Amino acid sequence: MGKMSVSLCGIGLDNPVIPASGTFGYGLEFAEIYDINVLGTFSFKGTTKEPRFGNPTPRIAECASGMLNAVGLQNPGVHHVIERELPALKKVFHKKVMANVSGSCIEDYVYVSELLDREDQVGWLEINISCPNVKAGGMGFGTSCESAAAVTKAVKAAVKKPVIMKLSPNVTDIAAIAKACEDAGADGICVINTLLGMRIDLRTGRPVIANVTGGVSGPCVFPVALRAVYQVRAAVKIPVVGCGGVSSAADVLEMMYAGASAVEVGAANLTDPYACKKIIEDLPGVMYKYGIKNLSDINGSK
């Protein structure tokens, strides 16, 4: 059997498969149906300083080979996560978890990051500067080198754990923004978040989603994500986490050949709650098929 273990920002993972933030909650629902310790780790739901209700409904729309969502970072707030979610998670997940952090201003990112940095179970801070579905903050911080670097620098000054900046594909030059984050001290880069899209209801002539636009995810975005990983990996020396449209073990290998140190699985979890478990189970066979003995030989591990 091939060796599936990899390293992400100096922390070892049994395998590179990571459920993406927003598709796995805080892990507890999935722990009811299978042992989530089979995962490399997972990125929990985007967490903000204060509780957020999110956007008005409808928030979801289907599209060919994918979906649109405009949930709007609904979450119970960082204090609830620390007091309730993490203690409950600790009972069922015995590895380090990735904390996804969102904010509407730099001070909010720092506040949430500082609190989560103190939690023993948190291994990495994934800083979301790429959500297209919120009016304040979110993607606004990830659309220029200057603002992305400013968030990176502020968070890095406040925490000790590895900081992974999650970037938006809705920009002209994602590699330049990744490089700006690296120069500001980022320990890793995650690409991509969702692409901006919309659907029209032909019965009404109006947008299907109440927010008008939403983030496109699913298999249809995989080639875009793969290209972004390749370009970012060429531009930076820090690890890259590949995300976007991954739904099979073969997709994981493609991402790693493109330069990913680890791979996040998003929308696939929403169509099949066992998706990540199946990908991990399939990886040894696909590795054998292509003559891969050690995943760390083909990825961008640092």
pLDDT, one tens digit per residue, over 189-240 is 999 999 999 999 999 999 999 999 999 999 999 999 999 999 999 999 999 9
* pLDDT at residue 301, rounded to an integer: 46
Question: Per CATH, is 6-54+72-196+217-297 categorized as 3.30.465.10?
Answer: no
DSSP 38: G
Q: Where are the domains positioned within the chain?
A: 6-54+72-196+217-297
| Rounded Cα–Cα distance for residues 51 and 77 (Å) | 4
Task: Read off the tokens for 223.
Answer: 């080639």
Q: Residue 300: which pLDDT band, with cuts at 50, 70 and 90?
A: low
Find the catalytic residue in 9, 63, 131, 190.
131
Predicted TM-score of the model (pTM):
0.95
- pLDDT, tens only, 75-96: 999 999 999 999 999 999 999 9
Among residues 118, 124, 120, the alpha carbon closest in space to that of 18 is found at 124
Mean pLDDT of 7-17: 97
pLDDT tier for residue 138 given thresholds of 50, 70 and 90: low
What's the mean pLDDT when you consider all of the chain?
Answer: 94
Report the distance separating Cα 193 and Cα 60, nearest Å: 16
pLDDT at 135 over 70: no
Contact predicate 214/61, CB 8 Å:
yes
181 flagged as catalytic: no
